Chain A
Amino acid sequence: MKDIFILIEHRRGEIRNISFELLTKARELSEKTGGKVTALLLGHQTESFINEIKSSAHRIIVIEDEKLKDFNSEYYTATLFNVLTTEKPFLTLIGHTAFGIDIAPALGSKLNIPVATDCIGIEIDNNIIVTRQMYGGKLNATINFKDSSQFLVTVRQGAFPVSETNLSVEHPAMAATEITKTPSTLTEDIAAIKFLEYIEAATGGVDITKANIVIGIGRGVKEQENLKIIEDFAQAIGGVVGCSRPVADSGWLPKDRQVGSSGKTIKPKLYIAMGISGASQHISGMKGSETIIAINKDPNAPIFNEANYGIVDDLFKVIPALKKKIEELK
């Protein structure tokens, strides 16, 4: 039977949304294969988590250990290795998050099973076929695996959104979820890694999550000196300036202005992406904006797949023209 296991991801006492996305996809796949969906829940004091996921899986395997409370790749990998060696599910899904990126590749290697990362499409036939993006989202690739009885796939956040219907509607077979509590096999001191603490990034003067209008700038801004032009434009339109990763990496804007999965998630009324190509990490931080406008000289930039309106042109020609028209209106 083609059983699917998903790893529940949680942090600081909360289940992360990717877990529900994985449950959604696993349920959809299981309806085709007839296999069962098992949620793997590793952690400490997981009672409330069990209730949250109960109606979305046929079975939950719970492994409780204080060592699994916070993330430690060694403890997690050792525990998952034991479970997956015993249970041998056909497919295991883990989020392509900072958590999943850390454990999945090594876990697959330890289990000697094939791994595909950051997948946005999964189909099960006799084998598994996945779709993933390459070249910063410019192309998609179809990936086949070598023959195996077990596969491990990490799933991009947001690739399989949780809709109102797919998890809330009770699945008859999932109403009586079987809960298996398995004792932890972790002994003291196997770890060369020790979790210390979580640190919230410091925030500066401008909170881009609270602004109505955000001007996002990327590599296309070219030089730090050009920032002044952008700041002036932002002021004229009544917005604040945010950025994509490369701009923050260069230190042109502080890290708290970075829009994206590892930075801020923003939902302004208007987002204008200037010279941003549109890497998936950036998109996930701004796709909730009411209106998205992209200005980029590359007509093939993935950002145009997310925007409502696009201008294919030189940024530094568009800005003065736009600024003039906006000021005329005022």
Chain B
Amino acid sequence: MDSIVCIKRVPQTTDLELKIDSSGKDIQKDRLTFDINESDSYAIEEAIRLKEKLGGTVTLVSIGEIGNDDIIRMGLAKGADSAIRIEYTGELDGFATAQLLKNTIKDLKFDIIFTGCMAQDDGYSMVGQTLAELLGIPYASLVVKLDVENNLATINRELEGSLIEKSEIKLPALFTIQTGINEPRYASLMAIRKAAGKEIKITDAKSTELVKNTTITKLFTPPPSKQAEILPGTTDEKAVKLTGILKEKGVI
């Protein structure tokens, strides 16, 4: 069972105030830290578990500059066999991302392609499904359970309201993986050291003609739909205030 996992490096923005850069179309990234996109990390784990069960290989594919090698090497340390970085600088929309991935993946041998179900930065939730269409293979998104037997995958998709949709899909196929499907492992220090020396194949996409369907023209702070009254003072004063409000509302 040969798998390909598409992974993205994204800025870590939890608990941070984001500043819009001078172009007005992007955020200031110089002081941010970067890591693998959360659902992509679950996608890697799912591919490695499949390899451990059924044999085969796991290949990582990531678009970006040399900084991406961090997340690629971590994936190699966790158990992926090889990696390709598609060298590209600049803004990509979901469709352009899928095109770049397709250009590289179409020449590779695979049974399953894994992607995360959504990128934490742009939140498109479209690259995997578009890539599958461009490659002409079936797919399922938001996968929370996967079993593979004899080239047939049985999958659970996560719907709304705690409902699950169970289907069968013939391989080769693409799955976009939802967080929580498994528990991503940690790589051992020894494996991390070993992965540091592994080769990452670079394909140059700088000259590739890409169709961009959408362009971000402006970023702005969302207008609050219902701005909370922020309680002032020391921690104790806030607690007193809040207790008063709760009492007044009859909740306590």
- A interface, CB within 8 angstroms of B: 11, 71-74, 96-99, 101-106, 108-110, 114-118, 129, 132-146, 148, 157, 191-201, 212-213, 219-220, 237-238, 245-246, 248-249, 251, 255-256, 258, 261-265, 269-270, 277, 291-294, 297-302, 304-314, 317-318, 321-322, 324-326, 329
Report A175 CB to chain B, min CB distance, Å.
32
Q: List residues of chain B with CB within 8 A of the CB of A248.
A: 180
Report B152 CB to chain A, min CB distance, Å.
9
Q: Are B158 and A109 in contact (CB under 8 A)?
A: no
| A interface footprint on B158-194 (CB within 8 Å = 1, 0 otherwise) | 1111111111111001000001100100000000000
Q: Are A115 and B242 in contact (CB under 8 A)?
A: no
Interface hit among B49-57, B65-73, B208-216: B208-216
Report B83 CB to chain A, min CB distance, Å.
25
CA–CA, A298 and B98, complex, Å: 34
Q: List residues of chain A with CB within 8 A of the CB of B103.
A: none
CA–CA, A98 and B158, complex, Å: 7
| A interface footprint on B123-160 (CB within 8 Å = 1, 0 otherwise) | 11111011011100011111000000000001011111
Q: For chain A, what secondary structure do more than half of its interface residues adopt (helix, strand, loop), or is it mixed?
A: mixed
Q: Are A307 and B214 in contact (CB under 8 A)?
A: no
Are A110 and B133 CB-contacts (below 8 A) given A321-B239, A329-B252? Answer: yes
Using CB atoms, name the residue of chain B closest to A322.
B239
CA–CA, A277 and B14, complex, Å: 8
Q: List residues of chain A with CB within 8 A of the CB of B238.
A: 311, 313, 318, 321
Are A309 and B231 CB-contacts (below 8 A) given A110-B133, A117-B125, A139-B221? Answer: yes
CA–CA, A325 and B139, complex, Å: 54
Closest 9 CB pairs of A and B: A114-B213, A310-B228, A249-B180, A105-B126, A106-B133, A321-B239, A307-B228, A201-B162, A192-B170
Report B147 CB to chain A, min CB distance, Å.
12
Report A29 CB to chain B, min CB distance, Å.
19
- B interface, CB within 8 angstroms of A: 11, 13-18, 20, 27, 94-95, 98, 117, 120-127, 129-130, 132-134, 138-142, 154, 156-170, 173, 179-180, 183, 211-222, 224-231, 235-236, 238-240, 242-243, 245-247, 249, 251-252
Q: Are B227 and A305 in contact (CB under 8 A)?
A: yes
CA–CA, A310 and B161, complex, Å: 27
Q: Are A102 and B226 in contact (CB under 8 A)?
A: no
Q: Are B220 and A139 in contact (CB under 8 A)?
A: yes
Residue among A133, A148, A261, A265 making CB contact with B123, cutoff 8 Å: A133
Q: List residues of chain B with CB within 8 A of the CB of A73.
A: 138-140
Q: List residues of chain B with CB within 8 A of the CB of A258.
A: 162
CA–CA, A157 and B161, complex, Å: 13
Q: List residues of chain A with CB within 8 A of the CB of B221.
A: 139-140
Q: Are A304 and B227 in contact (CB under 8 A)?
A: yes
CA–CA, A189 and B58, complex, Å: 31
Q: List residues of chain B with CB within 8 A of the CB of A74.
A: 138
Q: Are A139 and B219 in contact (CB under 8 A)?
A: yes
